[in-house]
Amino acid sequence: MADLLYNIAAIIALIGIILTFVRLILGPTVADRAIALDGMTVMAISLIVFIAYFSERIIYLDVAMVYALISFIGVVAIARYMERGI
């Protein structure tokens, strides 16, 4: 029962990533694409933690941490580039 609920939750989060990917492709400006990328990253972090617990490899939690760090740096760099150029 609990495993079924966990799997349904992961599938719903995956549907969210796919919906956000639509905005990443369609988005008219750079800011739309950056926002879509930010949302996709947060959902992907959740799914990485899910995989880390269910394949019982706790080392994957470090992957999720590094992914969060790199995503934050990337989005701030995109915002800086939009405002004043490199």
Task: Give me the 35-74 binding string for other proteins, x by CB under 8 A, dash otherwise.
Answer: xx-xx--xx-xx--xx--x--x-x--xx-xx--xx--x--
CA angle 17–18–23, rounded 5-degree value? 95
Taking the complex as a whole, the smallest distance from the CB of residue 64 to other proteins amounts, in Å, to 6
Give me the least distance between CB of 59 and other proteins, in Å please: 10
Three-state secondary structure of 11-64: HHHHHHHHHHHHHHHHCCCHHHHHHHHHHHHHHHHHHHHHHHHHCCCCCHHHHH
Between CA 6 and CA 50 the distance in angstroms is: 9
Q: Using CB under 8 A as the criterion, which residues of the chain lie in contact with other proteins when the complex forms?
A: 1-3, 5-6, 8-10, 12-13, 15-17, 19-20, 22-23, 29, 31-32, 34-36, 38-39, 42-43, 45-46, 49-50, 53, 56, 58, 61-62, 64-65, 68-69, 72, 75-76, 78-80, 82-83
